[in-house]
Amino acid sequence: MDFHLTPEEEAFRAEVRAFLDEMLPPGTNAMDPKFLATWQRRVREKRWVGFSWPKEVGGGGGSIMQQVILKEEMAKRKAPPLGSCFMGLAWVGPAIIEYGTEAQKQRFVPDILDGKYQWCTGYSEPGSGSDLASLQCRAVREGDHYVVNGQKIWTSIAMWSKWIILLVRTGPPGVENKHDGITCLLVEMETPGITVRPIRNMSGGAMFAEVFFDDVRVPVENRLGEEGQGWKVTVSALAHERSSIAEVEGLLRKLDELVELAQGAVKNGRPALADDAIRRRIARFETRIEAMRMNGMRFLTKQLRGEPLGADTSINKLHRADLEVEMGDLALEIQGGDGHLEKEVDGGRWQRFALNWPEVVIGGGTPNIQRNIIAERVLGLPKD
């Protein structure tokens, strides 16, 4: 056991910190579009966008430890994101790099790195949520095209995306072919026959949408991986989603804000933070967040030793789910009677936080699905 960094790793951390000192002096308005444009250009030059990707495709070729350091330092300083094509960088890009043809890599990867446009993800369907592999959206081969008919739902940012990574059924229906009959297609959202209908969520915003496909023609060259390989492509992409270590820093910053809120709020004539019960609940959050960090370190050691991660990453997904819900809930509780008012305290920041957790908690597999994964794959309990 040794948590010290090598001199090279320490040097890299210093480089990142120096860059952040230069780019983010006190008083920087990180929401200013002009600043953001400069930021994205500079981090792209540094090759910190797609930092984990191989250098051959334009990535940074960073080691696992360097990736961790970069993410940690960025999160500590609440730096803007590295790159702007969120889903492209998170899983579409990795999937294309792993399964794509040479032509697909050349066509899509540079645009993802440069943030030229957004990607969205068409997996879930009205009848296929937790049981994703039961999906029904069909693609029938007609010459050098697939013709797609069906519907997707919970498609985040579909209305602002240029491309969608889509799972469709190509094989014959039936239980035996549940996973084998699925194929992955890359589809341009402007293709005739696609209709996007935004869904308003409980916070009043609309981040996701329903997407309808009506005789949509997709060139065969836009198939990612072989026909029937779609499930494999997806699973590896979702594993990328579950392995984020930087979320710990983000949660710690959120915890700081919660402590500030509790310091400023008055309960029974004294600061809420002076209340033992509230202090303990906050300490409990801190404990879970640090446990996530240390779990992440143990998973990282496994990765560095070349061992498979398996279902372990579900552990942190479950912690995250509890924390998102409970932290938002405590914030509103501290606000007391104002807690249910839309914008009375801090412009409604905590209200939005307390209403937006489903995006993180349900997206990528609900808590109960994570528990099934652990029970069956780790503990060896029989499948239901």
Partner 1 sequence: MNFGFTEEQELLRQEVRKLLDARAPMEAVRKIAETPEGFSRELWKEMGQLGWLGLTIPEAHGGAGLGWVDLVVLLEETGRTLFPSPLVATTLAAAAIRDAGSAAQQARWLPRLADGSAIGTVALAERGDRFEAPAIQLAGRREGDGWALDGEKVGVLDGAAADLLVVSFRTGAGPDDVALAVVERGAAGLALESTPSIDLTRRVARARFAGVRVAGDAVLAGGAAALARLLDRAAAAVTAETIGAAEGALRLTVDYARERVQFGAPIGRFQGVKHPLAEMYVDVESFKSLLYYAAWCLDEGHPDAPRFVSMAKAYAGEAFARIGIDGVQLHGGVGYTWEYDIQMYLKRSKWARAAFGDPDHHYDRVAKLRTEAR
The least distance separating partner 1 from the CB of residue 265, rounded to whole angstroms, comes to: 16
Q: Is 334 in the site for partner 1 (CB under 8 A)?
A: no
Nearer to partner 1, 152 or 320 (CB): 320
For the chain, how many residues are written? Answer: 384
Q: Is 274 in the site for partner 1 (CB under 8 A)?
A: no
Nearer to partner 1, 30 or 283 (CB): 283
Nearer to partner 1, 186 or 318 (CB): 318
- The single residue among 254, 312, 313, 357 that binds partner 1, judged by CB under 8 A, is 312
Q: Going residue by residue from 242 to 261, which x/- string records binding to partner 1, judged by CB under 8 A?
A: -----------------x--
Measure the CA–CA gap between 135 and 123, rounded to whole angstroms. 8
The least distance separating partner 1 from the CB of residue 288, rounded to whole angstroms, comes to: 7
Q: Going residue by residue from 59 to 88, which x/- string records binding to partner 1, judged by CB under 8 A?
A: ------x-----------------------
Per rule CB under 8 A, count of chain residues that contact partner 1: 47
User: Euclidean distance between the first and final Cα of the chain, in Å?
Assistant: 39
Q: Where does this chain touch partner 1 (CB under 8 A) — which range of 88-96, 115-123, 292-300, 341-349?
A: 292-300
* Active-site option among 188, 241, 326, 359: 241
The least distance separating partner 1 from the CB of residue 331, rounded to whole angstroms, comes to: 17
Answer yes or no: are the C-beta atoms of 248 and 289 closer than 8 Å: yes
241 is known as an active-site residue? yes
Cα-Cα-Cα-Cα dihedral of 40, 292, 259, 345, to 10°?
A: 60
Q: Is 318 in the site for partner 1 (CB under 8 A)?
A: yes
Measure the CA–CA gap between 49 and 58, rounded to whole angstroms. 9
Phi, psi (degrees; rounded to nearest 5) at 191: -60, 135
Q: Is 131 in the site for partner 1 (CB under 8 A)?
A: no
Buried b (16+ CB within 10 A) or exposed e, 317-351: bbbbbebbbebbbbbbebbeeebeeeeebbeeebb
E-strand stretches of 220-355 = 223-224, 266-267, 270-271
CA 273, 277, 283 angle in degrees (round to 5)? 70
- The single residue among 139, 288, 313, 353 that binds partner 1, judged by CB under 8 A, is 288
Residues near 283 by beta carbon (within 8 Å), at least 6 away in sequence: none
CA 173 to chain centre: 31
The least distance separating partner 1 from the CB of residue 382, rounded to whole angstroms, comes to: 4
- The single residue among 134, 243, 295, 356 that binds partner 1, judged by CB under 8 A, is 295
| 3-state secondary structure at position 330 | helix
Measure the CA–CA gap between 205 and 211, rounded to whole angstroms. 17
Residues near 163 by beta carbon (within 8 Å), at least 6 away in sequence: 92, 108, 117, 118, 119, 120, 186, 187, 188, 189
Other Cβ atoms closer than 10 A to 183: 24
The least distance separating partner 1 from the CB of residue 302, rounded to whole angstroms, comes to: 8
Q: Is 303 in the site for partner 1 (CB under 8 A)?
A: no
Q: Is 381 in the site for partner 1 (CB under 8 A)?
A: yes
Answer yes or no: are the C-beta atoms of 132 and 221 closer than 8 Å: no
- The single residue among 55, 78, 280, 349 that binds partner 1, judged by CB under 8 A, is 280
The least distance separating partner 1 from the CB of residue 252, rounded to whole angstroms, comes to: 11
Measure the CA–CA gap between 318 and 236, rounded to whole angstroms. 19
Q: What is the DSSP string of 169-220?
A: E-S--SGGGTTTTEEEEEEETTSTTEEEEEE--TTS---EEEEEEEEEEEEG
Q: Going residue by residue from 3 to 32, which x/- string records binding to partner 1, judged by CB under 8 A?
A: xxx---x-----------------------
- The single residue among 298, 340, 343, 349 that binds partner 1, judged by CB under 8 A, is 298
Catalogue the active-site residues. Answer: 241
Binding site for partner 1 (CB under 8 A): 1-5, 9, 65, 259, 276, 279-280, 282-284, 286-288, 290-292, 294-295, 297-298, 300-302, 304-305, 312, 315, 318-319, 368, 370-372, 374-376, 378-384
